[in-house]
Structure 1
Amino acid sequence: MFSKHLFYLTSDQLCAYLWQGGRLTGGTVFANNRAGIDDFMDYVDSHRASSAYILADLIEEDFQRVTMPHVSGVAASKLLQRRLQQQYRETPFRHHEIQGRETNGRRDDIVLLSALTNPSSVQPWVEALEQLHMPLAGVYSTTLLSEDLAHKLKLRDEHLLLVTQQSAGWRQSYFQQGMVKFSRLTPAIDRDGNPVNIGTETAKTQQFLTSQRLLGRGIALQTVVVTAAEDSGALDEQCKDGPETEFRFVTLESVAARAGLKLGEGKVAEVAEHMAEPMLLAFLAQRDPKTHYTLGAWQRYYKLWKARVWMYATSAVLTVFCAGWTGYNLWQQISADIDSDHLRAEAAQFDKRYRDVMAEMPPRVTSTANMRAAVNVERMLATQSATPLGMATVISQALETSPNIRLLQMDWKLTLPAANAPQPGQDETQAAPISSLAAGIPNRAPQALLLEAEIIGEQDDYRGAVDSMNQFAQALAKHPRISVEIDKPPVDTRSSVKLAGKSGPQAAASGRAKFTLNLVWKP
């Protein structure tokens, strides 16, 4: 955890605390003058911490409630900033808080504007931190911080007045439905040196709230007084319940316990027994909210510090991720090495078994490479060598569409190139070399098939016989790689041939009309 500087600022002094390990320590007081600021700078320089927080508890803190048109986006931000600057021109410490919308009319936004109207009470301390390059997280208001504390303590009264005793005096903050509407700081000692009467001051606050129409007449104001246990008896005499006021006392110890705050020991514990600021400072350190009052350029070192923290955090995350990834890769490498060793051992066993088996086998006729080549050649011949099966399949499909055609015989052969024919002077007793195309190397050889068929039908219908042959030939010619040539038609109608024939019983005795086709398949 980072250590933090926590400064409680009043009009006369600044009290410095340190937040370390979830506990509040310190309590050094510096006067609001030149010497006090110099001592303060020496203190900050000697007590290094990650960041600084200023909790202001000043009389010069103003609260105004205004209504503004309901807009959103960049226009709303510009409108609010312009309204803040108009309301508080003399101070850079300004704050706004949207607290809902009106129920009637055009439903304008209800906005609470607040500011530290005397910047000279804050600016010297801020500039001192600026000179020391100390990251200033923000300037906070005890009133606005008490709003979060009231939520933490589950004080849900519709009209609540929270009264706390602090070094600057008694702070009275009015909350309506959990949202702060007004706050005033009264000295703990009056002009005559006597302690102020809390009951009287509460009545004045209630009268002011009624005049401002924040509190209706006849409505009971729930007043919660946070005080030390030993002082509750004296305050009980001053705070008597009335028709419009109800008092409840809560000890500082119980508030700290309910909020889960650890205030530390020694001087801090002594202050916490009587004052509320250690409790508020501890609550501020735990929550670490955004600054209440704008700081502008005074917050640049804090933004740089946060950027550096984010960079360190990102680097740490990346380092852890890379270390994890590297470890995972190393584990994978070790696993891969182990698997490789197992595979090598298995391969050695298989090699040994192979050698043992091969040692028991008789001597080989040829080498393993030749046997592998022979198997490859056999597979190539089975797939590439020319066979009549392809052409027979095409003829069978054509016969399916020509039922009046009967196949008589087929003569299939390969068309091999003339280069493989016997050459002059070659020994006739020596067998002619066979072309590699017969085995389909490198491509299949062209094939030729002589087909003889007859036509089943009427014997005297020569025109029908010719048409049937033509239809059959066309069915065969549909194949893209087969060409069909009519070698002998059923009726020879050439002009050079004598037309002759028989009819009637003599034609039936002579047999059916026959024809012959030459088929050529080109790969």
Structure 2
Amino acid sequence: MLTRYLHYLDQEGLTSYRSAGGRLAFVARHATGAEGVATFSQWLQTADKTTHTLLANLADEGFQNDSIPYVAGSDRKALITRKLAQQFHASPYVTSLSLGREREGRRDERILYTGITRPGALDPWLTELQGREAALNALYTPALLTQALLGLLRPEVPQGLIVSFCRAGIRQTYFEQGSLRFSRLSPAPEGDFSSWGEACLRETQKTLQYLSGQRWITRNTRLPVWLLLARQDFAPLLAAVEQAAQLEFHLVNLNTLCQAIGHREQLTNSDSQPLLMRLALRESRAPQLAPEASRRIHRFRQARQLIFALGVLAGLALGLSALKHYMDGRELQQQRSQLLAEIQSENLRYQQLLASLPAQPAPLDSLRSVVEAEARLHTRAIPPQAALLPLSKSLERFPDIELLQLEWDAGDAASTTSPARLVLNISAALPVAAASDPRTALQRIQAFFADLRPRVNELVLQEQPFDAESDKTLRSDAETLRKRPEFKLRLAISKERP
């Protein structure tokens, strides 16, 4: 169970509470002065080593609005630090809030500087916390919790005043566009909260005059005011403030707000201290006033917790990774065993099939090489029609030429180095009548040769029917006239067509 300490500081002293399991339990009360600081120091010696949060509800609180040139990064931080030192030169308990950029001119950034103007009210308590190495995570004021309070109220107007009661006095907080602009704590009147109506009206009218003087509102503007009260105090407070001019009061049930943030006890009066303490415990991103030196132990614990958390995450990730690798390895081992069993079964089946086959005429390796050579032959060989088709086209153009004999040779088609090649050896003849005119017969053969030549890769006229040398005369004897003029060609086709 997460345990934290919350210390509530007002003008009467410091009250310590212990937060555990969603409940706030009173621990100790330390009065203002040296005696109270001494009892607080003794209590810190026995307190749990956990986180401490300090909520200071004091009247010594200053607010300054200013504008700075729009810069970012380290330049902005240095500029704001210098401005804080000028505004609150004697106090280390300071911070700043950005109010957005101006709409006109250079569009400078509007900054609210706030801090504790009397640091002596805080120094003894923070000195003890730092001396006992207590982990202080934040120093809040009720004004710095305005953003969280507005998240509960959800006002529908851009500006207004929130009034709350506590034993320290009447707290009035002015907001504008969802951001804190000003807050003041006036002394507490005598009597019960139900009798504080007149004092509340008087102090609210003072705040109204101050806002008008600062020109944050015009003189004719009706200012909405939210009163945080217990339901039993609605009637007496409303009766005292309902006749106020320029003020528009809205009553808010304090119990409803407390229950919305997890406070389980029912409030019996209009004291807003439980609400403020719950908001302080719940808030983690609100601006706070504790200097870095006072938060050093908290920073160390955060770093240690972060390292521990990263170590746990790393260990968990490594464990999950190891488990995944183990499961993957186990699955692979199962797959390997299954594959080995399948391989053994297939080998056994293969051996049984071999045993059932008749005896082979040659060894299996020799048959395999023959089959592979035959496959390569079919893959690389050129079909005869690749050469017969161009030959048939030329024969159709020369019907007087008769094909007598044709032989084809595919070469070494099984070779992987020599190119595939198909060779046709052709024997053909002209009609017998062509023998009477040798010159015309040779011209006819040359024409057939010229027609076939473009369709093949290689074409050679190997033999002619007549001797056609240039120094001899073409003549025909009686025997030659009775024979058909025959000639021979060699035709070649390769994979690469011209």
Identity %, equivalent residues: 23
1:59-105 superposed Cα distances (whole Å, 9 cap, x missing partner): 22111222344555665555444433433333333322232444555
The 8 Å contact of residues 59 and 184 in structure 2, kept in 1 or not, is answered as yes
Query: The residue matched to 1:460 in structure 2 has which SS?
Result: helix
Aligned to 2:312: 316
The 2-side partners of 1:245 and 1:216 are apart by: 13
Change (3 A) 1:515 1:354: closer
| Counterpart-to-counterpart distance in 1, 2:380 and 2:189 | 126
Structure 1 CA distance, aligned partners of 2:380 and 2:112?
Answer: 102
1:199 to 196, 201, 207: 201
The 1:43–1:494 alpha-carbon spacing in structure 2 relative to 1, beyond 3 Å, is farther
**SS in structure 1 at match of 2:440:** coil
Matched, 1:488 2:482: no
SS in 1 for 2:445: helix
Q: CA deviation at 1:184?
A: 0.8
Residues 66 and 112 in structure 2, CA contact (< 8 A), matched pair in contact too: yes
Checking the alignment, whether the CA contact within 8 Å between 2:429 and 2:487 is kept in structure 1 is: yes
Residue 474 of structure 2 corresponds to: 500
> What is the CA–CA distance in structure 2 between the aligned matches of 1:387 and 1:231, rounded to whole Å?
105
Q: Distance between the aligned counterparts of 1:35 and 1:297, measured in 2?
A: 25
Structure 1 residue 452: Cα displacement: 3.0
Asked if the contact 2:409/2:424 (under 8 Å) is kept, the reply is: yes
Per the TM alignment, residue 231 of structure 1 is displaced from its structure 2 partner at its CA by 5.6
Let me know the Cα RMSD of the aligned residues: 4.6
Q: Does 1:2 align with 2:5?
A: no
- 1:421 matched residue in structure 2: none
Distance apart, 1:341 and its partner CA: 6.4
Partner residue of 1:282? 278
Where does residue 43 of structure 2 map in the other structure? 43
Deviation at 1:520, TM superposition (A): 10
Equivalent-residue separation in structure 1 for 2:113 and 2:479 (angstroms): 130
For these two proteins, the number of residue pairs brought into alignment is: 482
Structure 1 residue aligned with 2:16: 16
Task: Return the offset for 1:253.
Answer: 2.3
Counterpart in the other structure of 1:514: 487
1:137–1:291 contact (8 Å) kept in structure 2? no
Asked if residue 462 in structure 1 is aligned to residue 442 in structure 2, the reply is yes
Corresponding position of 1:430: none
Deviation per CA, 1:337-383: give whole Å up to 9, x if none.
66666667777777787788888x58x5369xx76425413312313
With the length of structure 2 as denominator, give the TM-score of the two structures: 0.77
The DSSP-based 3-state class of the residue aligned with 1:292 is coil
Secondary structure of 2:295's partner?
A: helix
CA contact (8 A) 1:451 1:519 kept: no
Q: Which residue of 1 aligns with 2:261?
A: 260
Secondary structure at the counterpart of residue 162 of structure 1: strand
Name 1:302's counterpart in structure 2.
298
Following superposition, the deviation at residue 140 of structure 1 comes to: 1.8
C-alpha displacement at 1:256, in angstroms? 0.8
Instruction: Give the direction of change, closer, same or farther, for the CA distance of 1:374–1:12 in structure 2 (3 Å limit).
Output: same
User: Does the Cα contact within 8 Å between 1:67 and 1:109 map onto a contact in 2?
Assistant: yes
Matched, 1:52 2:25: no
Q: What pairs with 1:148-187 in structure 2 (closer than 5 Å)?
A: 148-187=148-187
Distance, in Å, in 1 between the alignment partners of 2:311 and 2:346 is 51
The answer for unaligned runs of 5 or more in structure 2 is none
Amino acid at match of 1:202: T
CA, structure 1 residues 297+376, in 2 after alignment: closer, same or farther (shift >3 Å)? Answer: farther
Aligned to 1:208: 210
CA distance in 2: counterparts of 1:92 and 1:445, whole angstroms? 97
Question: Equivalents in 1 of 2:90, 2:80: separation in Å?
Answer: 17
Sort the Cα spacing of 1:151 and 1:446 in 2 relative to 1 into closer, same or farther, 3 A: closer
Structure 1 unaligned regions, length at least 5: 416-436, 479-483
How far off is 1:115 after superposition? 1.9
Which residue is equivalent to 1:112? 112
What secondary structure, in the 3-state scheme, does the structure 2 residue paired with 1:48 have? coil
Shift of 1:460: 0.9
